[in-house]
Amino acid sequence: MAVSRMPAIWVLLIGAVLTFGVAVSPAQASRSHRHYDFVIKKADYTRLCQRKSILTVNGQFPGPTIYARKGDVVTVNVHNHGDKNITVHWHGVDQPRNPWSDGPEFITQCPIQPGASFTYKIILTWEEGTLWWHAHSDFDRNTVHGAIVIRPRRGTTYPFKKPHKEIPIFLGEWWKVDLRQVLADALRTGSEFNASDANTINGQPGDLFPCSRDGTFKLPVEDGKTYMLRLINAVFTYESFFSVAGHSLTVIGTDGSYVKPFAVDYVFIAPGQTVTALLTADRASRGLRNARYYMAARPLLPNNPFISFDKYDNSVATAVLEYADDDAAAAAAPDPEFPVLPAINDSAAADAYTTRLRSLASEEHPVSVPRHVQEHMLVTLAVNFLACSPDEHCQGPQGNRMGASLNNVSFEAPRHASILDAYYHKDKVRGVHTTDDLFPSNPPLLFNFTAGDDLPQELWFTKRGAKVKVLEYGSTVEVVLQNTALLGGDSHPIHLHGFSFYVVGTGSGNFDGDRDPAGYNLVDPPYQNTVAVPNGGWSAIRFRAENPGVWFMHCHFERHMAWGMDTVFIVKDGNVPEAKMLPPPPGMPRC
């Protein structure tokens, strides 16, 4: 019998104890408690022939990896020794009943001010695999991020042979200039954001960029051994393809959940997503002579008349896989082989990869897809204009200000309080309304969403607002995320805090509520926290609203989030104490 990934309530049994404020049964009382200290501070790093100061955790870029086991509780003391406000988010962790530690700035907390500290509590439940943490304030996550590695619970094993080693692989970007200034300039002028100067793998651009060869990330391997690559997309601007020359990858997980294994020549991964893949160093068995092979990442960019390719960095980041047990071969063939990657605009290659993702759906890793839906939502995703007042002199297209929206609402968070604090204290925070300004469950106008011609020009413009969606505890929810061709269209990686969800369907064109649900996968759909909604198409997700609290949903393209492609779900408390949101911990930052 299938069971839910996260129980509707934490059941209190005889002898239950309270650990870190969370009610647990005797079986859960033996969970491990791990602790980390994160010091936010500036550090100097040299890339692309010049040195600049960046914000880091413990001076590391990428930041330190958190290691845990399924069901553990992890506490992280964040000490802000930097020069700006900051928050940290634990991406993909459901945080049952504990939105206070979720992290998005002004959604669930006020930021940690310079000189202050805050202790986050990360409550792991069903998650197992690869997740990550990152800053969730301004554009800080560009350099403030790291991996979360969640291994099987003690006494259990992987659903595959244990690999020889595991290696986090971060895909990212590098700007030569101060990214704060990029953000400030774009928001001031209403224009597009300046593109990055390089793509990176584990913080390094790789051999194809100037002054970068010496720092290229290198992965030494031994012939015959299998390695687990924990791929994490920390890119701001676009989705990515990743491949390793001369080797195939076996995908075994995504977003902290296992999938039915499948072999690929390339991986498609959207910002916010993770992919866990196995690589076998089988050079000898296949008669390969070279000892060095490029790992490479290339963007997927949309065909959009409003977006110029020359505004975005479209070059390839590289790292090197090298057989460390054959120095002679490495010396004889010093130039690595290069992989074959899909073209920069090959959206069909992205779709072909995504359709192969299916949950493991085993006895040890079951699925429980909601069959009866109580709350239906159709949410349009759009890049829009915001009206520009005459004294602003905006520099966006046609003299407007760039914006983005969900159901034609461009979200604007408060700046003097958090929505969670206002909701918990029954809307008594000045100027913050949480339950009387509701996010619409449907777009204001039905039209041919993905057609390139005759789009309603009244929807080119959107308005700002802080609308929220309120859900009853335990309700089953389906959200159809419908892309639109407004301003040329784009793909959108949509991330939901507080929940993972089943991606039950995806397709091209306009969602048809009468026809498309018949093709849903309700048997073994992938269980994810970030879904890549295709350009010119739609994706349908389902989840149970069993996690009371305030939870952010947003596009993981950073500029789209800054423009307002966001909303908030408020899940009401249930009827029993164990189905209610935890009280705020001591020491919550103040605005």
Domain CATH for 446 = 2.60.40.420
Last residue of one domain, picked from the residues 345, 366, 387 = 366
Residue 585 lies in a domain: no
For 269-288, b/e burial (b = at least 16 CB within 10 A) is bbbbbbbbbbbbbebeeeeb
Residue 24 lies in a domain: no
> Which burial class, exposed, middle or buried, applies to 197 when counting CB atoms under 10 A from its CB (0-12, 13-18, 19+)?
middle
> Which burial class, exposed, middle or buried, applies to 431 when counting CB atoms under 10 A from its CB (0-12, 13-18, 19+)?
exposed
Q: Are residues 149 and 48 in the same domain?
A: yes
Residue 388 lies in a domain: yes
Q: Are residues 113 and 163 in the same domain?
A: no
Q: Are residues 493 and 407 in the same domain?
A: yes
The more confidently predicted of residues 29 and 504 is 504
Helix (H) or strand (E) holding 189: helix 179-189
Each residue's pLDDT tens digit, 183-225: 999 999 999 899 999 999 999 999 999 999 999 999 999 999 9
Rounded Cα distance between 256 and 127, Å, is 5
Residue 293 lies in a domain: yes
Last residue of one domain, picked from the residues 109, 134, 153 = 153
Across residues 158-171, what is the average pLDDT?
97
**SS (HEC) of 525-557:** CCEECEEEECCCEEEEEEEECCCCEEEEEEECC
Q: Are residues 409 and 436 in the same domain?
A: yes
Rounded to 5 degrees, φ, ψ at 263 are -90, 140
Whether this model's pTM surpasses 0.75: yes
Q: Are residues 146 and 163 in the same domain?
A: no
Count of C-beta atoms within a 10 Å radius of residue 515? 9
Q: Are residues 406 and 261 in the same domain?
A: no
Q: Are residues 107 and 178 in the same domain?
A: no
Q: Are residues 336 and 317 in the same domain?
A: yes
Count of CA atoms in the C-beta half-sphere (13 A) of 496:
27
- Percentage, residues of the chain above pLDDT 90: 80
Q: Is 569 left (phi over 0), alpha (psi -120 to 50) or beta?
A: beta
Residue 586 lies in a domain: no
Last residue of one domain, picked from the residues 153, 180, 209 = 153
Whether omega for the bond prior to residue 339 falls within 30 degrees of 0, making it cis, is no
Q: Are residues 329 and 412 in the same domain?
A: no
Each residue's pLDDT tens digit, 472-503: 999 999 999 999 998 878 899 999 999 999 99
Across residues 348-377, what is the average pLDDT?
97
Residue pair 557/495 in contact (Cβ under 8 Å)? The answer is no
Q: How big is the CA angle at 567 (ends 126 and 558), to the nearest 5 degrees?
A: 85
| Number of structural domains in the chain | 3
Q: Are residues 400 and 521 in the same domain?
A: yes
Average pLDDT, the chain: 90
Each residue's pLDDT tens digit, 10-55: 322 223 323 333 344 433 445 799 999 999 999 999 999 999 999 9
Q: DSSP letter at 184? A: H
Each residue's pLDDT tens digit, 378-395: 999 999 999 988 888 899
Residue 584 lies in a domain: no
Give the list of residues 6+ apart from residue 475 with CB closer than 8 angstroms, or none: 374, 375, 544, 545
Q: Are residues 285 and 399 in the same domain?
A: no
Task: Quote the pLDDT of residue 306.
Answer: 58
Domain membership of residue 471 as a residue range: 375-579
**Closest to 91 (Cα-Cα) out of 138, 55, 124:** 124
Residue 11 lies in a domain: no
Q: Are residues 208 and 127 in the same domain?
A: no
Residue 305 lies in a domain: yes
